[in-house]
Amino acid sequence: MGMEEIKKAIVEYLSKGAKTKVYFNDILHGVKKTIPDAKLPEVKKAATELVREGVVEYFSTGSTTMYGLKGRGISAEEAGAKTE
């Protein structure tokens, strides 16, 4: 299976489900449901590629990091929005 196939599986996984930000482990298990023989390094590479392309973005609390589809869920602007 190729990189494009894994990228597609990641985007699909991130598009559905109630949670808009998920851990890498969730992505890995999500991708493995569609592509059972996908290897961890390949999934990481594909996720990194999607971040570089601007399709996926990191969401970090400082202690842990999650992944989300850009435009789905809280945005960078909202994170720093005025609260008063």
Partner 1 sequence: MAAEGQEKLWDREVKDHRTYKDIRIFTEDQLKKAASTDEELKAFKIKHATPQLDELEKGPWPSVISDVKREALHRKKLGQDNLMIPEGVAEDLLGVVELAYVDKETHWKHGGIIGVLGYGGGVIGRYCDAQEKFPNIAHFHTIRINQPGGHFYNTDYIRGLCDICEYRGSGIMNMHGSTGDTIFLGTTTEQLEPIFFDLTHDMGGDIGGSGSNLRTPSDCLGMARCEFACYDTMDMCYDMTMSFQDELHRPAFPYKYKFKFSGCPNDCVAAIARADQSHIGTWKDDIRINQEAVKEYVAGKIPPDGGGFAGRDWGPFDIQKEVIDLCPTKCMGWDGKKLSINNAECTRCMHCIDVMPEALRPGVDTGITLLFGAKAPILEGAQMSLVTIPFMYVKKPYDNVKEITRKVQEWWMEEGKNRERLGELIQRVGLRTFIMDVLGIPVMPQSIKEPRSNPYMFFKEAEVPGGWTRDIKEFRKKHPL
Q: Which residues bind partner 1 (CB under 8 A)?
A: 23-26, 28, 40, 44, 47-48, 51-52, 57-65, 68, 74-76, 79-80, 82-84
- Phi (first) and psi of residue 22, to 5 degrees: -135, 160
Structure tokens, 42: 């390949």
Smallest separation, CB 73 to partner 1 (Å): 9
Structure tokens, 20: 């808009």
CA distance between the termini of the chain: 50
- Calpha distance 38→58 (Å, rounded): 22
Smallest separation, CB 47 to partner 1 (Å): 7
Smallest separation, CB 67 to partner 1 (Å): 9
Residue 16 or 60 having the CB closest to partner 1: 60
